Amino acid sequence: MAGVGFELKKLFKKKGFFASVKAYGYSSLICAGPMLLGVILILGILMLVSHFDRSQFDRELTVCMITYTLLASLLVTSFFSMAVTRYIADMLFEEKRESVISSFFGSAGIMLFFGCTAYGIFLIFSGATLTEGLLCLLFFSELIVTWNATSYLTAIKDYRGIMLSLAAAIGVSLLLAALFLYLGLPTTVGVLLSVTIGYGVMLLWHLVLLCRYFPQGDTSAFFFLHWVDRFLPLAFTGLLTTVGLMSHLVIMWFGPLQVQVKGLFFGAPFHDVPALIAYMTTLITTVNFVVSVEVNFYPKYRSYFALFNDRGTVGDILQAEKEMLGVMKSELWYTSLKQLFTTALAISVGELLLKFLPLGFNDLMFGYFRILTIGYGLYAVANMIMLMLLYFTDYTGALEASAAFALVSSVMTVVSLKFDPAYFGIGFVLGGIAFFLVGVIRLDYYTKRLRYFILAAQPIVSGEKNGFFTKAGRSLSRRLEGGTHEF
pLDDT digits 0-9 by tens, 54-111: 787 888 888 889 889 989 998 999 999 889 988 988 888 888 888 899 999 999 999 9
User: Which residues are CB-contacts of 236 (< 8 A; sequence separation ≥ 6)?
Assistant: 79, 399, 402, 403
Virtual torsion, Cα 76, 77, 80, 84, nearest 10 deg: 170
Domain layout of the chain by residue ranges: 1-230, 242-456
Query: Is-contact 310 341, C-beta < 8 A?
Result: no
What are the C-alpha distances in Å from 424 to residues 64, 76, 187, 430?
20, 27, 30, 11
**pTM to 2 decimals?**
0.87
Q: Give the integer Cα–Cα distance in Å for 293 and 387.
A: 10
pLDDT, averaged across the chain = 84
pLDDT at 5 over 50: no
Query: Is-contact 163 29, C-beta < 8 A?
Result: yes
What are the C-alpha distances in Å from 46 to residues 11, 211, 383?
36, 35, 29
pLDDT at 412 over 60: yes
* Residue (of 416, 423, 295, 432) closest to 370 by Cα position: 423
* Alpha helices by DSSP H, 310-449: 314-354, 363-391, 395-416, 426-448
Q: Give the integer Cα–Cα distance in Å for 129 and 124.
A: 9
User: What integer is the mean pLDDT of 313-332?
Assistant: 90
Angle at 240 between CA 84 and CA 406, to 5 degrees: 165
Report the pLDDT value the prediction gives residue 27, as an integer from 0 to 100: 59
Query: Is-contact 142 196, C-beta < 8 A?
Result: yes
The phi-psi region of residue 313 (left if phi > 0; otherwise alpha if psi is between -120 and 50; otherwise beta) is beta
Going by pLDDT thresholds of 50, 70 and 90, the confidence category of residue 6 is very low
**Residue 281 burial by CB count (10 A; 0-12/13-18/19+): exposed, middle or buried?**
buried
Query: Is-contact 386 439, C-beta < 8 A?
Result: yes
Q: How many CB atoms lie within 10 A of CB 299?
A: 16
Report the pLDDT value the prediction gives residue 376, as an integer from 0 to 100: 93
Q: Give the integer Cα–Cα distance in Å for 487 and 220.
A: 6
* Residue (of 263, 278, 238) closest to 378 by Cα position: 278
Q: Which residue has the higher pLDDT, 364 or 34?
A: 364
Most confident of 238-247, 294-303, 415-424: 238-247
* Residue (of 191, 170, 172) closest to 180 by Cα position: 191
Q: Lowest mean pLDDT of 73-82, 292-301, 332-341, name the range.
A: 292-301
